[in-house]
Structure 1
Amino acid sequence: MLTELTRFEAEAHSHGITHTTFRRLTEALDLPGAQREELRALLIAMRPGQYTAPLWSIAASS
């Protein structure tokens, strides 16, 4: 999943996107909507600096 997330972030960043919703991340990672809160909690725990409530910041280094 982290490889797919990194790929998504790199693609989004290449298009000038700076932030995304957790709903969009869930869709991009092909996860069921029911897992959105789990994904959100996992990502915030792993990369707290990218959480800019209520959005996820697309890391420039991705």
Structure 2
Amino acid sequence: MSNNRPTEADETLLDECSTTTSGCASAERVFALLDCPETIPEPTDPVALERVDGRIELFWLA
């Protein structure tokens, strides 16, 4: 009588395969988003900034 139950090593390998497959599917979705055309049009009359000091200020709008 043979034992067809997977060993601990088999289960570890199957878990790694599942994780890898999930990662590949996620990467495909990310690359599909990166390949999308831009939806924000370039401004027709851009405004030149007088001074840029490299700071970003975040504030909460309620």
State the TM-score, normalized to the length of structure 1.
Answer: 0.26
Report which of the two structures shows the higher radius of gyration computed on alpha carbons: 2
Higher helix proportion (structure 1 or 2)? 1
Higher strand proportion (structure 1 or 2)? 1
State the TM-score, normalized to the length of structure 2.
Answer: 0.26
